[in-house]
Amino acid sequence: MTQHEPREVEHTITVHAPGTEVYRLLAEVENWPRLFPPSVYVDYLERNGNEERIRIWATANGDVKSWASRRRLDPEALRIEFRQEVSAPPVAEMSGTWIIEPQGPDETLLRLLHRYRAVGDDPDGLAWIEQAVDSNSRAELGALKTNLELAAGAEERLLSFTDSIRVNGAAKDVYDFVNEAQLWAERLPHVARVRLTETTPGLQVLNMDTRTRDGATHTTESIRVCFPHRRIAYKQTTLPALMTLHTGYWEFTEDDQGWTTATSQHTVMIDSEKITQVLGPGAGVTEARSFIREALGNNSRATLRHAKEYAEARR
């Protein structure tokens, strides 16, 4: 049977942001969780100059899926080529290109090309892929336009910070404390209620109520991607009122002496429209940054202190 040439389709959208900034945000995969709503976490598997291999975790129909892709970056031409390593039927192969075309100092035409084949060149499979690519690309580009435009001018509202602690104990034990979040209501004073589900090993959905200093509680839900015993990355899918994005990770590094450095990292996008509603009249981005840094930092440092006690008791 003769194999047909891959089918190619193109979708475009205009973004009100500089072309070089659009390219940078797409090229640096750590930005993806704030650019693509389904994206939870992206990890580099290999990097060799402008060639790289990445693994992507993203939500699809309520589940978290993971796949590996290869990318070729061309910063001079403002192009990024990608190819799925293993495609799921009815897709036999899937590749594509992001093409960034500046239209002026603050306007960019963003072109998304897909090339694909169906298993056995089946016409029904091809029609299914075509519909899926079309609907997904339209939705993706619409959300991407919004988030690229926000990200391009969001330095003031974007907040990233870390807290660390040194532990005289094994990284495995510190990791276990953070990984076993189903026990946090018993182990952590700021956690009022928790529900952890893990249908696939290493992929968790964490729903919990956290106590604030005034005794109130707020509910959050996060998807967590776990890498024993070195890192737990997460993205909040149910957020407090003051944030439009919250991602982060817990990292555990053990040295040759048996000491572990445990780190909590947060990246937050502030919802400027909710600042006065949450913090009161007269509050601005500066006050919101301070409030979030203190609230999240206090909870993270408390978790790290309890994890330290847990690990050191097992030494």
How sure is the predictor about 167, in pLDDT bands with cuts at 50, 70 and 90?
Answer: very high
Q: What does the pLDDT look like over 90-140, one tens digit per residue?
A: 889 999 999 999 999 999 999 999 999 999 888 998 998 888 888 888 888
The H or E element that residue 304 is part of is helix 285-313
Domain segments of the chain: what residues?
7-152, 158-313
Higher pLDDT, 122 or 163: 163
The H or E element that residue 145 is part of is helix 123-152
Q: What does the pLDDT look like over 228-248, one tens digit per residue?
A: 999 999 999 999 889 999 999
Whole-structure pTM value? 0.89
Task: Find tokens 């519909």 and name the residue.
Answer: 131
**For the chain, percent of residues with pLDDT exceeding 70:** 98
CA 237, CA 225: separation in Å to the nearest integer?
Answer: 13
Class of domain 7-152: alpha beta
Tokens found for residue 219: 């509910």
Looking at residue 116, what is its pLDDT?
Answer: 92
Q: What does the pLDDT look like over 49-87, one tens digit per residue?
A: 999 999 999 887 677 888 899 999 999 999 999 999 987
Is-contact 145 255, C-beta < 8 A? no
How sure is the predictor about 1, in pLDDT bands with cuts at 50, 70 and 90?
Answer: very low
Number of Cβ atoms within 10 Å of the Cβ of 289: 17
Query: How is residue 2 annotated by DSSP?
Result: P
DSSP per-residue string spanning 252-297: EEE-TTS-EEEEEEEEEEE-GGGHHHHH-TT--HHHHHHHHHHHHH
Looking at residue 101, what is its pLDDT?
Answer: 98
Residue 245's closest CA among 205, 287, 292?
A: 292
Under CATH, which architecture does the 158-313 domain have?
2-Layer Sandwich (3.30)
How sure is the predictor about 186, in pLDDT bands with cuts at 50, 70 and 90?
Answer: very high
Is-contact 267 247, C-beta < 8 A? yes
CA 268, CA 263: separation in Å to the nearest integer?
Answer: 17
Q: Which residues make beta-bridge pairs with 195?
A: 207
pLDDT surpassing 60 at residue 2: no
Looking at residue 61, what is its pLDDT?
Answer: 63
